[in-house]
Amino acid sequence: MNDVSRAITYLNDPFNWTRPNGITDLALEHVGISAVAVLAAMVVALPVGVALGTARRGAGMVVVLSNVSRAVPTLALLTLFAVSPIGFGNRATTIALAVFAIPPILTNTFVGFRGVDAEVREAARGMGMSRAQVLGRVELPLALPLVATGIRTAAVQVVATAGLAALVGGGGLGRLINLGFGQQDYGVMIAGAILVAGLALLTELLLATLSWAVTPGPRRLPFLQVRTTPRAGSVPEPTASGVPL
């Protein structure tokens, strides 16, 4: 029996799902670590992105901050936390993942609010809206698609990276990968990798559907592209030189 077959056998055993510290418990812990990290990143990144985007300032700072944050590996942060008062465990992993999640949320929020047409803002103010009303009823709906994309990107990255928690004594599905690697049981390691990848794909699917549901305006089903056939006469006939009339 090869390693892939052992991984499938491991995943098909109900005992591995229901026992204490089994797959179900580890998956819930993995989701909890990821959710707290993404929420912490949103608390930091969303207000900063909204403030800078509406003021149309700080583009250079956002780019530098995003590049610096992306350049620092999560594993390096976990190593630094291990020799600091933060120590080992899920707390260190949550902080490192929150830092990792800030750049996409901050960048997309900044770009989304900065891209709102100034004439739209002025028209809303001319209708007697307050600054808070313009922000909540005009700018936010227009910027929401980009903001949601940033949150979705950050969440998928965090879920896929949260397995590193096992390297610093934390929980989550990464413990299966770490256990399989330590015992040279590559079937268990592959099973853990399959679970992490599946959870990341499920996160992408759920957040894409949620983004589609809350985004105002015309909607199309996510992951589907609607192809339209031009009606007869809608395409201008080319002239002899090939340039349409």
User: Per CATH, the architecture of 3-214 is what?
Assistant: Orthogonal Bundle (1.10)
Which of 36-50, 160-174, 207-221 has the lowest average pLDDT?
207-221
Q: Could you give the percent of the chain with pLDDT greater than 70?
A: 85
Q: Which residue has the tokens 């600091």?
A: 84
Give the mean model confidence (pLDDT) for residues 12-26: 89
Measure the CA–CA gap between 111 and 49, rounded to whole angstroms. 8
Q: Which pair of tokens denotes residue 66?
A: 């995003």
The pTM (predicted TM-score) of the whole model is 0.80
Give the mean model confidence (pLDDT) for residues 34-59: 87
Distance of CA 126 to the CA centre of its chain: 37
**Mean predicted lDDT score pLDDT of the chain:** 81
- By the 8 A CB rule, do 164 and 173 touch? no
Give the mean model confidence (pLDDT) for residues 182-190: 86
> pLDDT band for position 195 (50/70/90)?
very high
* Residue 233 predicted with pLDDT over 80: no
142 compared with 44, residue with greater pLDDT: 44
- By the 8 A CB rule, do 208 and 151 touch? no
Query: Residue 223 is which amino acid?
Result: F
> pLDDT band for position 242 (50/70/90)?
very low
Distance of CA 94 to the CA centre of its chain: 15
> pLDDT band for position 226 (50/70/90)?
low
> pLDDT band for position 76 (50/70/90)?
confident
- If you average pLDDT over each of 36-50, 132-146, 204-218, which comes out highest? 36-50
Show the 3-state SS of the chain: CCHHHHHHHHHCCHHHHHCCCCHHHHHHHHHHHHHHHHHHHHHHHHHHHHHHHHHCCCHHHHHHHHHHHHHCCHHHHHHHHHCCCCCCCHHHHHHHHHHHHHHHHHHHHHHHHHCCCHHHHHHHHHCCCCHHHHHHHHHHHHHHHHHHHHHHHHHHHHHHHHHHHHHHCCCCCHHHHHHHHHCCCHHHHHHHHHHHHHHHHHHHHHHHHHHHHHCCCCCCCCCCCCCCCCCCCCCCCECCCCCEC
